[in-house]
Amino acid sequence: MTRAIPVATDAVAVQPPASAAAKRSAFKSIFIVASGNFLEMFDFMVFGYYATYISNAFFPTGSEFASLMLTLMTFGAGFLMRPVGALVLGAYIDRKGRRQGLLLTLGLMALGTLAIAVTPTYAQIGLAAPVIILIGRLIQGLSAGVEVGGVSVYLNEIAPPSAKGFYTSWQSASQQAAVVFAALIGLLVSTSLSPATMQAWGWRIPFIIGCVMIPFLFVIRRHMEETEVFLQRKEHPQLGQIMRTIGNNWGVVLQGTLMAVMTTVFFYMITAYTPTFGSKVLSLSAGESLFVTACVGIANFVLLPVMGALSDRIGRRPLLIAATVLGALLAYPLMSWLVAAPSFGRLLAVELLLATIYATYNGAFIVYLTEVIPAHVRTVGFSLAYSLATAIFGGFTPAISTALIGATGDKAIPGAWCAAAAILSLTALLVGGRIQRRKTA
């Protein structure tokens, strides 16, 4: 029988206060596991931030719009590999363990990043250049397909019952730290080098920095301890068993995918697409756009744990419903107000408001999804739902937004795309709630 997503309970069991040593150990575990997640998002973000330079280096077509679209589609192509990574690597983590699997994903991400950092340009090696870039993105996508799920599941399993929302929210918070770091590096590089130097080699600097971080992150992540939840399981399912269980619970995966649409679309709108939108659509400087992106990351880094903790107190559903309603109602009007008189101040205000809506939703959603997937297939189930939403909707948000603006001439149309994502996720949440109430009646 298909399993529907249950309504999260609002009641929280009272737990004895944790000792100072236990708290230090918990935060150490959060830092260790989130460090690799930081690299995964850093590498993904810098590709989006430098889309214009990458398009000129690897996808010269004679048309600036066509080159940018090819680059953004390559950015999105990495997301097409996420469902594959979710199934294959997710099953590996559920079978072999959280620690071993997360070390593997870090290695794959490192390989993809290195390929992008050192590949010669189209002018130097011809068609081999965009092919290598595409392969590097696909390898990154394979790793990223399970990184978010693996980290979220790990944090959920080490968290005390009364703080699962707070713990799990640090998966997303670590991504925001990467957004800030990538934006600040980009701001420093773009203001220090001339446009010609940036195009020639300056855009590679953030990727090289990512490569330099890899050995240190390997050392950090090797200190991860396996979760007690995994160690206490006497049987670890094989790939065939995992696929059958996922098939029997396809309703959970489908509904989780639809609920993840909002968080993935909003995330890539306010982070990966902001530098391109600010410079190409609003004609603001690259520095201004990157500064706004850094501010968005800082705001989310603070808000996500706050919203995760709030969901521990009042329940997941109130936050999920409030955020989706606000996203549906406000996204397009905010964008229309921005494009009516583009300025740094308006871009900052709109992005921060959208970031608050995103953080409210994501802070509750990530832990919500970990709680409804069967424990023995939790990594692959979570990763598959999240990666499908990213591959179909979120990851292509920069390309879809660019295409919609080109087709309609409406510079605010990306706001309509965000609103549609919010409506879809709200519908999935409400329908799931009704199904669950009928089952428990």
Instruction: Work out the pLDDT band at 19, boundaries 50, 70, 90.
Output: low
Give the model's pLDDT for residue 236: 64
Angle at 426 between CA 425 and CA 429, to 5 degrees: 85
Mean pLDDT is highest, among 54-63, 116-125, 375-384, for: 116-125
Q: What pLDDT does 229 receive?
A: 66
Question: Per-residue pLDDT for 252 more than 90?
Answer: no
**Higher confidence at residue 322 or residue 1?**
322
pTM, entire model: 0.80
For the record, the structure tokens of 49 come out as 């931030």
Q: What is the pLDDT of residue 233?
A: 66
Nearest CA-CA partner of 265 in 77, 391, 403: 391
pLDDT digits (tens, 9 = 90+) for 291-302: 898 899 899 999
- Could you tell me which residue, 114 or 323, shows the higher pLDDT? 323
For range 406-412, the mean pLDDT: 93
Strands, E, within 154-264: which ranges?
none
Query: What fold does the segment set 24-225+238-440 form as a domain?
Result: Growth Hormone; Chain: A; (1.20.1250)
Nearest 5°: the CA angle 388, 374, 167 is: 80
Q: What is the mean pLDDT of the chain?
A: 83
Percent residues over pLDDT 90 in the chain: 28
Sole residue written with tokens 């446009």 = 195
Please report, as a single letter, which amino acid is at residue 70: L
In tens, the pLDDT along 152-207 reads: 888 888 888 889 999 999 988 988 888 888 878 887 888 888 888 988 888 899 88
Per-residue CA distances from 292 to 187, 279, 287, 295, 421 (Å): 10, 12, 9, 5, 23
**C-beta of residue 364 within 8 angstroms of C-beta of residue 260:** no
φ, ψ dihedrals at 160, nearest 5°: -70, 155
pLDDT in tens, 272-281: 788 788 888 8
pLDDT tens, 306-330?
999 999 999 999 999 999 999 999 9
pLDDT band at 140; cut points 50, 70, 90 = confident
Q: Which pLDDT value is given to residue 2?
A: 42
**What pLDDT, on the 0 to 100 scale, is given for residue 5?**
44
